[in-house]
Structures are given as structure tokens and as C-alpha cells.
Amino acid sequence: MYSANAPFKVFSGTASRYMAEEICRDLGVELGQMKVDHFADGEFEVVFEETIRGCEVYLVQSTFPSSDNLMELLLMIDAAKRASAAQVVAVMPYFGWARQDRKDKPRVSIAAKLVADLLTAAGADRIITMDLHAGQIQGFFNIPLDHLYASCVFIPYIQQLNLENLCLASPDAGGAKRVNSYAKYLGVPYVLCHKQRAKANVVAQMTIIGDVQDKNVIIIDDMVDTAGTITKAANLMIEKGARSVRAIATHAIMSDPASQRVTDSALSEIIFTNSIPYRGDCEKVTILSVAHLFADTIRRVHANESISSQYLIK
């Protein structure tokens, strides 16, 4: 049985070691020893190199492409359960496959639900993640899920910019709730972008609903993939008379040719968290660390304290 007095240990998957090391520095603990052995055919196995019997185990791994990162996390969870860990918590700064959260056309998979089932079947007792693409994904789990918000780091950054005539924007109707929460907290107006897609990752047409004339605009989104939407919105806003346009997004997927699109666009800056490591080359990109947010959440979970009390907005 799990006890709140059980010791806790933090381990990292291959893709998120940079994040796990920051988290451990904040917590003042050593990163646990674990290795991943690869076979010639592409298979791999996870081995914990220290005892975790009776421990509360936190496994840090984002599941951005490739799918090896998801498989590695599943094997980490399975290995921890088989090594008699008291509780296994999957710490996923970025929850991949989240854009497939509903059946929006016939004969299509709902990958977010499948991933939730896989994590549960592997033996995860709890999930800690941040800025899910769709909040209802929390309902796909039958285990506790702590949903964190990058607004804890973004709002102080916006405030220190000290921009006059600030206006927030959502790049699509789906982000209206998010941008409304930011605008209400900061006491500024916001506008919406209405887009029509020709196909996935391709925007055919975009319209701005609201006035951006003489405004310093900040577009707020949960992720940027190919940067087609966000750069098109920025260029359109400058055409409509905006003084400047910045963008804030939690997850820097930044698939090619995203970095070049941002460089060539009217965006003066684009700000991400380090939930996904940004490996591109773009001078307009600023990265803010969320390691402290996850470290503080781990402290609170371990001590059975409130998680929501650290939120600025939801």
C-alpha cells in the first residue's frame, strides 16, 4: 500500500532528461539511475539501476514525436510497477497525440483516449501534465490527473514587457476560453481569428474578429507545429494596423518549416516553455523554463497539498 511517508525518486526518459535534471536541482535531489538498452532491430528495454521498492516514483517524459518516447514511458511505468514501486507518477510536460481527441469524421481513431488507456494499463497511478490541447482529455483517465497551466510563467513575462495598448488574440475559435482567461486577469481586450483549413496544417483563409489598430498584440495558443496559422495571423494583424505582434505558446513542436516561417513573419517574438526541447535556429524564439512549476507540483503531490493554489488562471 502507498504511504505519504514513502520516499520519492525522480527518473527521466531519454527525451526529457534536460527537464528532469532541472526539476531535480529545484527539488534538491539526485536524478535516479536508469538506462535504456537498444537492440539491433530497434527494440529497447528499460532498466532501473537502483532499488525503488516501496518508493513513490516520478517518471519525467514528454511524448512528442517520435512514438519511441511514448513507448519508452510505457516501459518505464511497467518496469517500475514490476520493481514494486509504491506509486508511479508519469510527469508529462507535453502530452502527445492530444489533437486527436474526438471523432470528427467517419472511421477515425481517437488517439488521445488510446494513449490514456495505454498509460493506465501500463500501471500509472497518476499523471502530471500541462496545457492539454483539449481540457476534456482529463476525462479519458480513470486515475488522478493534475493539469498544470503555463500561464504561471507566461503572465509574469507579459507583465514585465510593459506594453502599451496591449491586446490579446486567439488564433482560432477553440482558444477563445484560454485568451478570455488571460484578458480578464490582465484587464485588456482580446480579438479572435476565424480560420478555414484546406487540410491538416494548411490554413486556406483567415479573418480577424475585433480591432487591432494601434495595438501591441500577443497571440496566445497551446502549441505551434508548422507555424502556418500563427504567422498568417501575425502578418494579417500588421496589415490591419497593429503596432507589433508577439506570440505565446506552451509547446514548441516547431516542425519544418516553422522556424523559417517565424523568421520571415511579422512576429517580433515568439515565446515557448521548455516542455519540448527547441532545436531550431530562430532569433525570435524565447524559451521560459517550467521546471520549477513541475518541481513544486511534485512537492505538493508528495505532501498531499493543494495543486490548484499555485494557479494564476485556469
pLDDT in tens, 67-110: 999 999 999 999 999 999 999 999 999 999 999 998 888 999 99
Q: What average pLDDT does the segment 203-221 reach?
A: 90
Q: How far is CA 152 from CA 15, 194, 289, 293, 294, in A?
A: 24, 27, 11, 8, 11
- Cβ neighbours, 10 Å, residue 3: 10
Residue 110 phi, psi dihedral angles, 5° rounding: -115, 85
Confidence at residue 203, expressed as pLDDT on a 0 to 100 scale: 56
| 35 among known catalytic residues | no
Please tell me the predicted confidence (pLDDT) of residue 135.
87
> Residue 2: its pLDDT value, please?
46
% of the chain surpassing 70 pLDDT: 95
Q: Give dist(CA 223, CA 221) in Å, integer.
A: 6
At residue 1, the pLDDT reads: 43
Residues 6+ apart with CB under 8 A from 147: 129, 130, 132, 135, 138
Quick check: 186 pLDDT over 90? yes
pLDDT of residue 216 exceeding 70, the answer is yes
Residue 192 has pLDDT above 70, yes or no: yes
Residue 205 confidence class, pLDDT cut points 50, 70, 90: confident
Q: Would you state the cell numbers that stand for residue 299, as one nine-digit string?
A: 512537492
The span from the CA of 142 to the CA of 101, in Å, is 16
Confidence band (pLDDT; 50, 70, 90) for 312? confident
Can you give the pLDDT at residue 202? Answer: 61
The pTM assigned to this predicted structure is 0.93
Are the beta carbons of 218 and 246 closer than 8 angstroms?
Answer: yes
The predicted model gives 23-33 an average pLDDT of 96
Q: What average pLDDT does range 23-46 have in this prediction?
A: 95
Query: Active site residue: 9, 35, 81, 195, which one?
Result: 195
pLDDT of residue 29 exceeding 70, the answer is yes
d(CA 43, CA 62): 19
- Please write the tens of the pLDDT for every residue from 255-286: 999 999 999 999 999 999 999 999 999 999 99
* Interval 124-175: pLDDT, tens: 999 999 999 988 999 999 999 999 999 999 999 999 999 999 999 999 888 8
